[in-house]
Amino acid sequence: MPEPVVSPVVAELRDRIQRLEGPSGRAREVLPFGVTEIDTKLPGGGLALAALHEVAGGGNGVIDGAAAALFAAAIAARSKGQVLWCVTRPDLFAPALAQVGLLPGRVIYVEAGDEKSLLSCMEEGLRHGGLGVVVGELARLSMTASRRLQLAAESSGTIGIAVRRWRRQTEASDFGQPTASVTRWRVSVLPSSPLAGARRRSCPLAARAHPMSRRRQCRF
C-alpha cells in the first residue's frame, strides 16, 4: 500500500505543534560523550541538543576557568555548523580551542560590552537556527535569563553553553542558585603526562528529567 502523501500545510502544522510541546513532546536528540560513566548518567545517553547547559571550573581560579572553557570547546568541536562564542573580555586563546578540535575557522567571536548585552547576543544566536553551538562566558545567570536562553535553544535545536567565569570570589556563590539549564557541570584540571592530551575531571552536578540526577556525588 503506498504511503499517504502529507501536504505541506499538514507538515507545517505538525512542526508547529512539536515546537509548542517542546522537548517533552518528542524524542530529544543527544550528543554522546562516548564515555560510559558519563553517558549513562544523562537522559537519553548524552548531552541534550536544543538545550542550555552550564559549565564552571571546579575551583574559582584561572586554571579551572580555562578547563571549563576547553570543556565547552570540546563539546562544540563535535557539533555540526558554526560556533558563536560570546565574551565580555578579550582573553580567549584561540590556539587552545584548536587543541581540543575547535578550529578557528568555525568560530564567530563576539565581544559584548557587558553581561546584559552578552545575554542578548546569546539569545539572538540561539534563535537564529543556523548555528551548531552558542557559547557565552558570564559570571551571573538568573532564572529569568536562563529560561529565555533555554526557550531560544528549544526553538532552534541549537546547543547553548553558559561558561561561568568569576572575577571575584563573591560572584561564585551565584552558581548555587537554580536556573533553567538542563545540565550543570564542574570541570577541574588533573595532572597530565608530558606530550599527552590534557586530562580533565568532569562532574555532572545535575541533569533534568533523569531519575537519579537531582544532586550527584562524583567519585574518581
Mean pLDDT by groups of 10 residues along the chain of 220 residues: 58 67 59 92 93 88 83 95 95 92 96 97 97 96 97 97 83 81 90 62 65 41
Q: Rounded to whole angstroms, how far apart are CA atoms 37 and 29?
A: 19
| Residue 126 CB partners (closer than 8 Å, separation 6+) | 134, 149, 152, 153, 155, 156, 158, 160
Backbone angles phi, psi at 117, to 5 degrees: -65, -35
Question: Quick check: 159 and 23 in contact, CB under 8 A?
Answer: no
Q: How far is CA 197 from CA 7, 71, 101, in A?
A: 52, 13, 12
Question: Quick check: 132 and 82 in contact, CB under 8 A?
Answer: yes
Instruction: Confirm whether pTM is higher than 0.85.
Output: no
Write down the pLDDT at residue 64.
78
Q: Rounded to whole angstroms, how far apart are CA atoms 123 and 10?
A: 29
Burial class (CB in 10 A: 0-12, 13-18, 19+), 164: buried
Write down the pLDDT at residue 220.
33
Instruction: Look up the CATH number of domain 49-207.
Output: 3.40.50.300
Write down the pLDDT at residue 17.
67
Write down the pLDDT at residue 216.
41
Write down the pLDDT at residue 46.
94
Nearest-Å Rg of the Cα atoms of the chain is 18
**Residue spans per domain, the chain:** 49-207
